[in-house]
Each structure stands twice: as C-alpha cells, then as structure tokens.
C-alpha cells in the first residue's frame, strides 16, 4: 500500500511562514498630510499624530511591549 495521495487529490497547502510575527520589529514613520504615523514590520501601526515626536513615542512603546528595544 502506498502512502502517496491519489493523483486526483489536491496537494496540501504549503506551510505558513513566520512572517506574521518576525523575530525583530522595525519601526518607521510615514506622513500623510499633516499627520504622522508609526508603523512596524509586524503590521502594527499607531494612531495618526500631528507631532512626529508623539508618533516616534508610539513606536518606542510598541517596541518595549514587543520585547525589542
């Protein structure tokens, strides 16, 4: 008896990569009009702020919560 799936069966889906939660978080800021937002490589983003310094503080807070500094 063979362990292979029959030819008419679809192949199993590929394993998901761990890209949803990368080991390191990288923060950047982006501007839209007069607002600035901190964004992370993990998909997190902070609220829109008028002051860049507040957006950077949001990003630093995310890094601290994620365990990266």
Residue-range definition of the domain harbouring residue 47: 26-66
Q: Mean pLDDT throughout 1-25? A: 59
Q: Are 62 and 40 in contact (CB under 8 A)?
A: yes
Q: Mean pLDDT throughout 43-64? A: 97
Give a yes or no: residue 45 inside a domain.
Answer: yes
Give a yes or no: residue 35 inside a domain.
Answer: yes
- Report how far residue 29's alpha carbon sits from residue 36's, in angstroms, rounded to the nearest whole number: 7
Give a yes or no: residue 44 inside a domain.
Answer: yes
* Domain total of the chain: 1
Token couple for 66: 């994620």
Give a yes or no: residue 62 inside a domain.
Answer: yes
Q: Are 36 and 10 in contact (CB under 8 A)?
A: no
Give a yes or no: residue 20 inside a domain.
Answer: no
Q: What is the pTM for the complete model shown?
A: 0.64
Instruction: Convert the pLDDT of each residue in 20-30 to its tens digit.
Output: 555 689 999 99
Mean pLDDT of the chain: 82
Q: Mean pLDDT throughout 11-20? A: 52
């Amino acid at each position: 008896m063979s362990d292979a799936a029959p030819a008419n069966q679809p192949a199993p889906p590929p394993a998901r990569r761990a890209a949803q939660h990368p080991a390191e978080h990288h923060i950047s800021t982006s501007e839209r009009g007069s607002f600035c937002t901190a964004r992370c490589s993990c998909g997190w983003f902070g609220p829109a702020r008028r002051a860049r310094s507040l957006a950077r503080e949001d990003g630093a807070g995310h890094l601290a919560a994620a365990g990266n500094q």
